[in-house]
């Protein structure tokens, strides 16, 4: 997983900038809605719903919002039909980009996503054109300030819980799992008293595309434009940018 931290720094930068909590909650509610609609409203029996609820809670979404989304999905809500799609393409400088959307109007969303790519020196591609550059992984982050455990002791717990790998940074421990083991690893570490700054199943690039400052600026504008689209749920990319450049553009 070496090198993923640059990707995560960009993701955290966007998260820190985005003060539109209502928009974040709307996207999370939509994800919960879809999971409950497809697999039922009991998180214990529906792993996708459990993951969506965990993601919502890690973003401090109120329980009443979560419950309302589940009830809407399992009740009678005429006229609402969401579809999930993933668009793939290339950003400026050939950066691989995947855009996960949840929409009630495929044509509108496709046009909006294509426009965002075209406006920022990118181009939308065919399905499969970049997805092979990403691996799906469970991802757990423990803030070092919130735990008294040392690295070796935590590493033993992580291995025993069934995780694949752990990386240690100055401010946090990052734990990686297979998607299938994510829930069990998370539960085992929670039972040991750990809390998580981030807990999700997401996509990590296997290779990275470095850009100079001009390209990074264009790529961040593409990310911002996609993030502003209400239908966009997640954005994955393989941009490699120097921390100094990111700091200048923050």
Q: Are strands 209-210 and 239-240 parallel, antiparallel or unpaired?
A: parallel
Q: 55 or 130: which carries more pLDDT confidence?
A: 130
For 166, phi then psi, to 5°, come to -135, 135
DSSP H helical ranges for 75-144: 106-119
How far apart (Å, rounded) are the C-alpha atoms in residues 91 and 107? 21
Q: What are the structural domain ranges in the chain?
A: 4-74
What 8-state DSSP symbol labels residue 194? Answer: -
Per-residue model confidence (pLDDT) at position 36: 87
pLDDT, mean of residues 170-180: 93
The beta strands (E) that lie in the chain are given as 83-90, 96-103, 123-124, 134-143, 165-168, 172-177, 198-205, 209-210, 232-237, 239-240
Per-residue model confidence (pLDDT) at position 3: 45
Q: 196 or 77: which carries more pLDDT confidence?
A: 196
Give pLDDT tens digits for 53-100.
Answer: 988 888 888 898 888 888 877 765 555 678 889 999 999 999 999 999
Per-residue model confidence (pLDDT) at position 2: 46
**What is the share, in percent, of the chain residues with pLDDT greater than 90?**
51
Q: 144 or 119: which carries more pLDDT confidence?
A: 119
Give pLDDT tens digits for 223-238.
Answer: 999 988 988 988 999 9
Whether residue 72 contacts residue 213, with contact meaning beta carbons closer than 8 Å, is answered with no
pLDDT, mean of residues 26-52: 87
Q: 31 or 14: which carries more pLDDT confidence?
A: 31
Confidence band (pLDDT; 50, 70, 90) for 188? very high
Per-residue model confidence (pLDDT) at position 8: 55
The reply to whether CATH 1.10.10.200 applies to domain 4-74 is yes
How far apart (Å, rounded) are the C-alpha atoms in residues 157 and 153? 7
Per-residue model confidence (pLDDT) at position 39: 86
């Amino acid at each position: 997983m070496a090198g993923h931290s640059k990707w995560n720094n960009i993701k955290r930068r966007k998260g820190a900038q985005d003060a539109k909590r209502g928009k974040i909650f709307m996207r999370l509610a939509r994800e919960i809605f879809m999971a409950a609609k497809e697999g039922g409203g009991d998180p214990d029996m529906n792993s996708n719903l459990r993951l969506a609820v965990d993601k919502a809670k890690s973003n401090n979404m109120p329980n009443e919002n979560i419950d309302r989304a589940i009830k809407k999905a399992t009740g009678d809500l005429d006229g609402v039909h969401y579809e999930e799609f993933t668009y793939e393409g290339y950003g400026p400088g050939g950066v691989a980009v995947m855009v996960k959307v949840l929409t009630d109007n495929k044509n509108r969303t496709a046009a909006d996503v294509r426009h965002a790519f075209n406006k920022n020196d990118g181009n939308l591609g065919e399905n499969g054109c970049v997805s092979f550059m990403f691996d799906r992984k469970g991802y757990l982050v423990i803030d070092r300030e919130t735990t008294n455990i040392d690295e070796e002791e935590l590493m033993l717990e992580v291995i025993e819980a069934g995780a694949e790998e752990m990386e240690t940074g100055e401010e946090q421990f990052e734990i990686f799992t297979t998607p299938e083991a994510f829930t069990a690893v998370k539960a085992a570490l929670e039972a040991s008293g750990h809390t998580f700054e981030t807990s999700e199943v997401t996509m990590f690039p296997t290779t990275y595309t470095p850009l100079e400052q001009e390209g990074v600026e264009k790529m961040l504008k593409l990310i911002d434009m996609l993030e502003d689209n209400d239908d966009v749920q997640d954005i994955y990319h393989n941009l490699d940018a120097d921390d100094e450049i990111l700091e200048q553009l923050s």
